Structure 1
Amino acid sequence: MPRIDAERFLRDLNDLRQIGAYKTGVHRPTYSPQDMESRRWLMERMAEIGLEPSIDGIGNVYGRHKGPGPHLLVGSHIESQNYAGWLDGALGVVAGLALARAGLPVDVCAFADEEGHFEGGFLGSRSIIGELSEEEIDRSRSRNDGTPLREALAAAGLAGKPRMTLEPGRHKGFFEMHIEQGRVLESSGLRIGVVTGIVAIWQYRIVFEGQQNHAGTTTMAERRDAGLSAIRLLARIDEEFPRVAAERSVWTAGRITLDPGAPSIIPGRAEVLFQFRDVSPEVLERMDAALRALVRESNRREKCPATIEQMSRATPALCDPAMMAALDAAAEEEAPGAWSRMPSGAGHDAQYIAKRMPVAMLFPPSIGGISHHWTEDTKPEDLALACQVLANGAARFLAA
């Protein structure tokens, strides 16, 4: 089995960490000067290894293996959330470099904007599979400051560059290594997670219409308080969902907006952005049905009618059985008894690449389960172990 150069792998990770450094993490929003510097750094590393580097019109950096196949695609992303962690995404790209350096026939890719700094999100992985239209690029704006995507691409020097697409039949599969971003491995005393699938996220907007009025002169009996109606529905969701959800299902009211949002005015309107996640389509359908039933119940009980709109309805991406089996065997060889299969609760580029080829993912543990924050970290020995498991598993899959 190929052996990675663990010292060089960790040094590359730490070198990349210096670009956009923020406390112990990084700040590299998509198309920022720091992000573009990291993409140039990556292309230099690709060339040193013997890969043929390029960058396309959406910012995807691609290192093409020059030798014969069968080939694998390995990668993730290198932009970060704002003032966030140094490993989220970057780990998978630098692991790809390590596999190429170890002699494996891999193409390495850093997809642009997995973190969703621009409306639409997953711009790079969606673009490379042909699912990002020019019209969507025209419409997209920065979630941070409203900058049009076209302007950001031009400022980054990417305007006019063609956008690459995956070459049909070139790749046997796609491997993505990523930190877990949770505490399952750490709390179980495990060092490796072989991912079974990537959850789908179903998102909704729930709007309550009440009556804006004076907070001091309107009696409690007369009030039509949209805010209270929203809170009562969310409490009912939290009571009911455990009856229909699975063990790893999660749900979140990520934003509650009250209008007009003043301390002495009864809210006349409330808007809730709500999502739930699971890897099973059947569980997702149950949760959807339960949510809609709870909205109907709210409308029978409350003075403020609610309307529900589904904003997105993704499909779970299941990992390839043969690729998982190769990673299982590699994990047992490199870390006997210290690994487990598990689903991914977060979204990843792999869920889009799965539309074009088999995919698999591998997790090392996150210290304290922290991610999307500058304190995000993983032990160096766990990073090196996971990269070696990835190389071992990739070689097994290629040989199968």
Structure 2
Amino acid sequence: MAEPDTARFLADLHALRQIGQFKTGVHRPTYTPQDMESRRWLMERMREVGLEPEMDGLGNVLGKHPGAGPKLLVGSHIETQNEAGWLDGALGVVAGLALARAGMAVDVVAFADEEAHYGSFLGSRSMVGEVTEAEIDAARHNMDGKPLRQALREAGLEGLPRMRLDPARYKGFLELHIEQGTQLEQAGLRSGVVTGIFGIRYFKITAVGQQDHTGGTTMAERKDANVAAMRVLAMIDEQFPMHVGERTVWTCGRVVLEPNAPHIIAGRAELIFQFRDLSEAVLDRLETLLTRIVQEVDRRDRCALSLERLGRSAPAIADPALHGALCEAATRHANGQWQPMPSGAIHDAQHVAKIMPMAMLFTPSIGGISHHWAEDTKEEDLVLSLRILADAAEKALAS
């Protein structure tokens, strides 16, 4: 059995966290100088372990094993949210390096912009053939509006071709990731084998009323868009729990009022609402329920309401063979301190699963904290996760 160099694995993780260091975390947003420095650092490490690295026109980095025969693809991403954690994404990429260093037939990948600064999983979707040139032309930074084309030019990526993954080359894809939640920690467990990645549906709910004076307009005359929008949320809160699955989650993450002034009745309200589950049947049921709720408030209220679906991603179920290999390895190394579990967060693996078998492994997040510089995991749990991953990868390559 190949034994990964756990000391070098930890050393690489700590070296990578120095690039864009912010407090105990990192600030390495997509296509910033810090992000591009980290990609160049990664390519050097790939060469050191015998891989042949290449970076494409979106910043995806792929290190290919030079030997013959089928490979495993292993990786994640290395850019970060603003002022965020040192392990989110980086753990999976550095784990891939460790497997390559141990002599395994793996390609290592760092997908670009998993954190969606310029779009939704641009890197992994591009590598499975889903991103068009028109989408790249239209993409803008989610905060400052900078065009993606400009960012690529400034990062030195303009004109480089985009890579496509060849599913015939691979037995599958493995991604090691921090949990970004509290289930493992609260259960006193040290590892989680992912059963699948939640599908997501997200919507814009709009209420249009009449902007007016808060003092001069009687209650009988008012068409308050804010009140109508809050009625929708109240009905969701009341009715969703009766129709959800065991691990369904839902969130209204954005509320926009116009004109959003203290002495003016809101003439327009906009909600961005999403729900997630591992079952398409549950997602269908909740979309039907949400449609009925919006229609009912529209029928009863003096404001006009509408519902627009902004996007969806299908659940991705872990490949049975790869999942089984991870379960066996977790049983061997974690001494009963592991569990199967779904991923509520979405990952690059969800898109790679469209063209090849996929499985994921979670390691605990201290306090469940992620997307924040305080994100952390015990080093002994990091080492354990690498050993489980290596064991499972070896079995998958031998099968």
- What band does the TM-score fall into relative to the shorter chain? over 0.9
Distance 1:25 1:297 in 2: 46
Describe how 1:100-139 pairs up with structure 2 within 5 A: 100-118=100-118, 120-139=119-138
- For 2:59, the aligned partner's letter is G
* Match in the other structure for 1:382: 381
Q: In the alignment, is the contact (CA less than 8 A) between 2:167 and 2:356 conserved in 1?
A: no
Cα drift, residue 145 of structure 1: 1.2
- 3-state SS of paired residue (2:178): coil
Distance in 1 (CA, whole Å) between partners of 2:156 and 2:72 is 29
Q: Is 1:185 the equivalent of 2:184?
A: yes
Q: Which residue of 2 aligns with 1:74?
A: 74
Q: Which whole-Å deviations, capped at 9, do the CAs of 1:44-82 have from their partners, x for residues lacking one?
A: 000000100110111001100011222000000000001
Give the paired residue count.
399
What is the rounded CA distance, in whole Å, between the counterparts of 1:168 and 1:79 in structure 2? 25
Partner of 2:215: 216
Give the letter aligned to residue 251 of structure 2. T
Shift of 1:130: 1.0
The structural deviation recorded for 1:359 is 0.3
Query: 1: distance between equivalents of 2:299 and 2:58?
Result: 48
Q: Which residue in 1 is equivalent to 2:201?
A: 202
Which structure 2 residues correspond to residues 333-344 of structure 1 after superposition, within 5 A?
333-344=332-343
CA deviations on 1:243-297 (whole Å, 9 max, x unpaired) are: 1111211101010100011110000000000000011000101111111111111
Which residue of structure 2 aligns with residue 156 of structure 1? 155
Q: How far, CA to CA, are the matches of 1:363 and 1:108 in structure 2? A: 18
CA distance in 2, matches of 1:141, 1:353: 24
- Tell me what 1:99 maps to: 99
Question: Which amino acid in 1 is paired with 2:215?
Answer: G
Instruction: Quote how far apart the aligned CAs of 1:232 are.
Output: 1.5
Q: Within 2, Cα distance between the matches of 1:338 and 1:214?
A: 61
Which position in structure 2 is the counterpart of 1:61? 61
Post-superposition offset of 1:167: 2.1
> What aligned pairs does 1:242-391 form with structure 2 within 5 A after superposition?
242-391=241-390
Any gaps of 5 or more consecutive residues in structure 2? none
What is the alpha-carbon distance in structure 2 between the residues aligned to residue 121 and residue 287 of structure 1?
Answer: 23
**Scaled by the length of structure 2, what TM-score is found?**
0.99
Letter in 2 for 1:366: S
Residue of structure 2 equivalent to 1:85: 85
Instruction: Report the 3-state secondary structure (helix = DSSP H, G, I; strand = E; otherwise coil) of the residue aligned with 1:303.
Output: coil
How many angstroms apart in 2 are the aligned matches of 1:357 and 1:321?
A: 12
Q: Could you tell me which amino acid in structure 1 is paired with residue 4 of structure 2?
A: I
Paired position in structure 2 for 1:41 = 41
**CA–CA distance in 2 between the matches of 1:316 and 1:168?**
20
Which residue identity lines up with residue 17 of structure 2 in the other structure?
A: R
Displacement, 1:227?
Answer: 0.3
Instruction: Tell me how far apart the structure 1 counterparts of residues 210 and 135 of structure 2 sit (CA, whole Å).
Output: 37
Secondary structure of residue in 1 paired with 2:137: helix
SS of the counterpart of 1:169?
A: helix
For 2:33, give the aligned amino acid.
P
Output the CA distance in 2 between the equivalents of 1:228 and 1:168. Answer: 51
Letter of the structure 1 residue corresponding to residue 44 of structure 2: E
Give the Cα–Cα distance (whole angstroms) in 2 for the partners of residues 299 and 153 of structure 1: 44
Q: Percent identity?
A: 63
Q: Deviations over 1:353-380 (max 9, x none)?
A: 0011000000000001111111111000
1:143 correspondence with 2:142: yes
User: Hey, what's the Cα distance between the residues in 2 that align with 1:51 and 1:399?
Assistant: 20
Q: Distance in 2 between matches of 1:38 and 1:301?
A: 55
- Return the alpha-carbon distance in structure 1 between the equivalents of residues 92 and 197 of structure 2: 16
- The AA in structure 2 aligned to 1:303 is R
Residue pairs, 1:20-31, within 5 angstroms: 20-31=20-31
1:228 aligns with 2:192: no
